[in-house]
Amino acid sequence: MSADINQLQQTVSELLAEAKSQGASSAEAGVHGSQGLALTVRLGETETIEHTNDHGLGVTVYFDQRKGSANTTDLSPAAIKETVAAACRIAKYTSEDPAAGLADAELMAQDIPDLDLNHPWQIDTEQAIEIARECEDAARSYDPRINNSEGASVHTQNSLFVYGNSHGFIGGYPTTRHSLSCAVLAQEGEDMQRDYWYSSHRVPSELDSAQAVGVEAARRTVSRLGSRKIDTTECPILFKADLAPSLVRSLFGAIRGAAIYREASFLLDHLGEQIFPDWVKVDENPLLKRGIASAPFDNEGVATHPRNLVEEGILQGYILDSYAARKLNMQTTGNAGGVRNARITSTGETFEELLKQMDTGLLVTEMMGQGGSTVTGDYSRGAAGFWVENGEIQYPVEEITVAGNLKEMFMGLQAIGSDNQIPGSIDTGSWLINKMTVAGN
Amino acid sequence: MTDALDLARHTLLETPGLSENDLSRVMDKLLSHQVDAADVYFQYSRLESWVLDDGIIKEGNHSIEQGAGLRAISGEKTGFAYTDDLLLPQLLEAAGAARSIARAGQSGTQAIASLHNAPRLYAPINPLDSLSEELKLELMHKLDAEARSIDPRVKQVSVSMVAAHDTMLVMNNHGMLSGDVRPLIRMNVSVIVEHNGRREQAGSGGGARRTLDFFLEDDRALGYAREAVRQALVNLEAIDAPAGMLPVVLGAGWPGILLHEAVGHGLEGDFNRKGTSAFSGRIGEQVASPLCTVVDDGTLPDRRGSLSVDDEGTATENTVLIENGILKNYMQDTMNARLMGMAPTGNGRRESYAHLPMPRMTNTYMLAGKSDPEEIIASVDKGLYAVNFSGGQVDITSGKFVFSASEAYLIENGKIGAPVKGATLIGSGPEVMTQISMVGNNLELDSGVGTCGKEGQSVPVGVGQPTLKIDELTVGGTAT
């Protein structure tokens, strides 16, 4: 690490002092540095070795209700002066905005809990290459139809980050993140398919084994061979656990402060309303130990707390930073920077039980394109997966779309499985939805 | 000093205090292992952005990014390291890290041996200072007022303006030094309309490698505001989109995103070298209907996707990818070209110094055909006419691609009918291209808004096409 936390804190203090001396009535600043290694082994040979090394600083100044911001990758003393000057120049031209400003001083995190986010991987390039090779080998030897590869990758990153503002708040902490991924191709006749799998964690020893990641990448790829298109129909849809978080992100997009105060959400005026069946509960825990999205304070220095977003299917709160909160005459929810570690309570079924419950319908294992509107809730995306009859997977399906409206999809939720495979920032199992339109032949 | 290479040398060597001798030392260090190719890429970028929302200038940001990326290649292996300090010790350290991909053992030494001055496709200017701040903000307010004045159903207007000034300098292991100064500007207007409790959103924008005067010419930016409102109001009337296979007529210009997804990515050299594309090994074969000629042209003056030289210092070209339906060429960077025994095509691009170059598109479009656009619509009994899109994605291995319509209409009995809600269209690239049965005589390029993502790297691109008809494509609506 070329910069230590004291240096970064020093830089933040200098930025804030410089902002004050250039006349800003208040200011906030952040500095980050990260170093890492990313490498890929393809067809048994090392393909790329990347040494990553990133720095940056950003400052936002306020002249009463006018705001300006600037950032740079240059951490030199000269750059600090210039960057603050650039932000101050911007603030000459922005408008008076009654909602602008720092979060309230009394909301700043008082003590910063150690969330156990820093676990450097003691690994050299040769060892990382070995892990990637073992992962790719496991995938390539899984099935004779696996005939090509995009390789297996190991990525490890150590980061430092410090945020401070003119309330006197300053805080920072180191984090690590490591991942292992693999993508392979399978062929049968003219049919060629690709799929991938990965594991990502703050703690290297918590990563899935190279063997497991490789085998899962291969299993997913081979299972897609022989995919066909199905006829256009309406049917129940089971979104596999690794795709279900994208539906949760659609929910978050619609209850973000900016979508609400701009009246650009299909969930406008739904606070306290039923948006899911009454068994659905969505919680956020930013203080989760070792959590991939954990943070002791948000991007404005506001202390984070576990909170409840949906209880008994009823929307309990919006996702707010201090700006959106002021626009809505509400209080910030400590969500500057987003939702950190969401958990959606499962109804307890295994994946197989969900298939049985669906009986006949479509299991979706991949989605393509954006295709969901936050404003209207209209939803239409490319998909691939498997046709299911009598609770049994029949054959792989591709080149189809699934469409509906998010509001109806949320209310039509039948069950959430206990089959989560990935400890990501959104913890949920597979989602069974009563009915959507599948477009195919 | 108006020569881009001289400007780049001044910004990236003289200003940080690096000499050409220093550059040679860094290259020598990269070449002190057994490498086949190496380059050093310097970059200094300034970017300014403004956001108008709720009728006020809410945000402004100024950003500086600088650094150098060093790459060493041995066979199919690449070593890469970068630094955000443009100082000799840090550059030498990064060179040491990058070269470790190759075995120890000298492959040579190399001083700067040639200067590559490619024809300039845009002026080496700084667009950030091309309008006063007062005029920039006045223009944004004007767009806000214009959008609101068109129709009382307009409830929200957001306007953004971005100007970037990007300077790059690259030296390769042959001693060739090449540089470029790349202006890039972009404006966007987004509106929300409301009527009887129904809300719809739409956006429109444009950009170029020009100064900000571009937006003032012929009231161009006012046109973005009008267009955003028009689309949003159309969507207020939209009915459910159909679900299933239908003939689809795509409008001219931005719907060229079809080509970007259906064939563009699949013709990038890296995927084809590795044999992972649905188009791998198919040069010389019929891959599209004989009506289709598709090019990737990085040489169009002032266009968003254009580059005088690519990020490896290769002059860009107008590369014919598909000619009368026959696959002619892939898009190449130097590494994939070398490994495939082909010539580079000026498609080696990177998001920044902190990313590795790879084959990327520039401006990808289909040449005009012979059909009258009205005749194309008249030929469809029951189908979809899609004129605006919000984005797309492709699986290059299976060839399946999607793109999402944001403005579309039913075609009934050869006539344009009711507008339908946004829907994703899905097809197989190689199949869809053979299903193109009519190509219009009205080639248009997009307005300068495209950004392409690949392996986590974003680069500006252009697309274009004439009106065209696809006999059958799956439309992902809800009306069955």
- Chain A CB contacts of B397 below 8 Å: 185, 192-194
pLDDT band at B2 (very low <50, low <70, confident <90, very high): low
Which ranges of A224-328 would DSSP assign to H, the alpha helix?
244-255, 257-261, 322-327
| ipTM score above 0.90 | yes
Question: Is the Cβ pair B133, A92 closer than 8 Å?
Answer: yes
Contact A305, A295 (CB under 8 A): no
Q: How many CA atoms lie within 13 A of B342 on its CB side?
A: 21
Write the pLDDT tens digit of every residue in B413-468. Answer: 999 999 999 889 999 999 999 999 999 999 999 999 999 999 999 999 999 999 99
Q: Residue B118: is its pLDDT beyond 80?
A: no
Contact A262, A289 (CB under 8 A): no
Cα(B475)–Cα(A437) distance, rounded to whole angstroms? 11
Contact A157, A36 (CB under 8 A): yes
Q: Rounded mean pLDDT of chain B?
A: 95
pLDDT at B104: 79
Look-up: residue for tokens 């170059």? Answer: B357
> From the list B101, B397, B421, which residue is nearest A194 (CB)?
B397
pLDDT band at B101 (very low <50, low <70, confident <90, very high): confident
Closest B-chain CA to A402: B476
DSSP one-letter code for B217: G
pLDDT band at B1 (very low <50, low <70, confident <90, very high): very low
Query: Which of B44, B398, B470 has the most A C-beta neighbours within 10 Å, making it the best mutation to test the interface with A?
Result: B398
DSSP one-letter code for B288: S
Question: Is the Cβ pair A437, B478 closer than 8 Å?
Answer: yes
How close is the nearest chain A Cα to the Cα of B198, in Å? 8
Q: Does the CB of B65 have a partner CB in chain A at under 8 Å?
A: yes
How close is the nearest chain A Cα to the Cα of B83, in Å? 6
Contact B169, B12 (CB under 8 A): yes
Cα(B373)–Cα(B443) distance, rounded to whole angstroms? 10
Q: Residue B282: is its pLDDT beyond 90?
A: yes
Question: Is the Cβ pair B244, A148 closer than 8 Å?
Answer: no
Per DSSP (E only), the strands in B209-311 are: 243-250, 294-297
Cα dihedral sign, B462-B468-B474-B478: positive
Query: Which of A46, A94, A266 has the most B C-beta neighbours within 10 Å, making it the best mutation to test the interface with B?
Result: A94
Q: Residue B313: is its pLDDT beyond 70?
A: yes
How close is the nearest chain A Cα to the Cα of B370, in Å? 30
Q: Residue B409: is its pLDDT beyond 50?
A: yes
Coil vs helix vs strand at A422: coil
| Paired residues of B115 in beta bridges | B177
Neighbours of A260 (CB within 10 A): 23
pLDDT at A437: 97
Nearest by Cα to A169 from A116, A102, A87 = A102
Query: Which of B397, B403, B407, B472 has the most A C-beta neighbours within 10 Å, making it the best mutation to test the interface with A?
Result: B397
Question: Is the Cβ pair A373, B201 closer than 8 Å?
Answer: yes
| A189: exposed, middle or buried (Cβ count in 10 Å: 0-12, 13-18, 19+) | exposed
Q: Does the CB of B111 have a partner CB in chain A at under 8 Å?
A: no
Nearest by Cα to B228 from B163, B137, B154 = B154
Question: Is the Cβ pair A53, B81 closer than 8 Å?
Answer: yes
Q: What is the mean pLDDT of residues B374-384?
A: 98
Beta-carbon contacts of A415 under 8 Å, excluding residues fewer than 6 positions away, are: A347, A349, A354, A357, A431, A432
> From the list B56, B62, B275, which residue is nearest A86 (CB)?
B62
Size of the A and B interface in Cβ pairs below 8 Å: 239
What six digits make up the tokens of A161?
Answer: 């980050």
Contact B131, B212 (CB under 8 A): yes
Look-up: residue for tokens 């004439």? Answer: B466
Helix axes B20-30, B88-99, angle to 10 degrees: 20
Cα(A419)–Cα(B91) distance, rounded to whole angstroms? 48
Cα(B394)–Cα(B365) distance, rounded to whole angstroms? 17
Question: Is the Cβ pair A69, B60 closer than 8 Å?
Answer: yes
B108 in the Ramachandran plot: left (φ > 0), alpha (ψ -120 to 50) or beta? left
Question: Is the Cβ pair A401, B77 closer than 8 Å?
Answer: no
- Chain A CB contacts of B480 below 8 Å: 232-234, 437
Please calculate the CA angle B240-B246-B249 and round it to the nearest 5 degrees: 90
Write the pLDDT tens digit of every residue in B59-75. Answer: 999 999 999 999 999 99
Phi, psi of B19 (to 5 degrees): -100, 170
Contact B28, B88 (CB under 8 A): no
- Chain A CB contacts of B77 below 8 Å: 45-49
Question: Is the Cβ pair B58, A437 closer than 8 Å?
Answer: no
Look-up: residue for tokens 């020893």? Answer: A205
- Chain B CB contacts of A91 below 8 Å: 60
Coil vs helix vs strand at A90: helix
Cα(B123)–Cα(B4) distance, rounded to whole angstroms? 8
Cα(A373)–Cα(A254) distance, rounded to whole angstroms? 9
Closest A-chain CA to B400: A399
C-alpha dist (Å) from residue B75 to A43, B37, B78, B79: 14, 9, 8, 11
pLDDT band at B113 (very low <50, low <70, confident <90, very high): confident
Contact A233, A388 (CB under 8 A): no
Beta-carbon contacts of A239 under 8 Å, excluding residues fewer than 6 positions away, are: A247, A364, A430, A431, A433
- Chain B CB contacts of A69 below 8 Å: 59-62
Contact A345, A278 (CB under 8 A): no
Question: Is the Cβ pair B80, A378 closer than 8 Å?
Answer: no
- Chain B CB contacts of A42 below 8 Å: 76, 274
Contact A182, A135 (CB under 8 A): yes
How close is the nearest chain B Cα to the Cα of A335, in Å? 20
- Chain A CB contacts of B82 below 8 Å: 51-53
Question: Is the Cβ pair A94, B390 closer than 8 Å?
Answer: no
Partner A, chain B 390-409, Cβ-Cβ below 8 Å: 390-393, 395, 397-398, 400-404
Question: Is the Cβ pair B192, A264 closer than 8 Å?
Answer: yes
Query: Which of B395, B457, B473 has the most A C-beta neighbours within 10 Å, making it the best mutation to test the interface with A?
Result: B395
pLDDT at A372: 87
Cα(A398)–Cα(A275) distance, rounded to whole angstroms? 31
- The strand pair at A431-439 and A26-42 is best described as unpaired
pLDDT at A207: 96
Sheet of A426-427, strands arranged across: A314-315, A307-311, A282-284, A342-344, A426-427
Low-confidence stretches of chain A (pLDDT beneath 70): 1-3
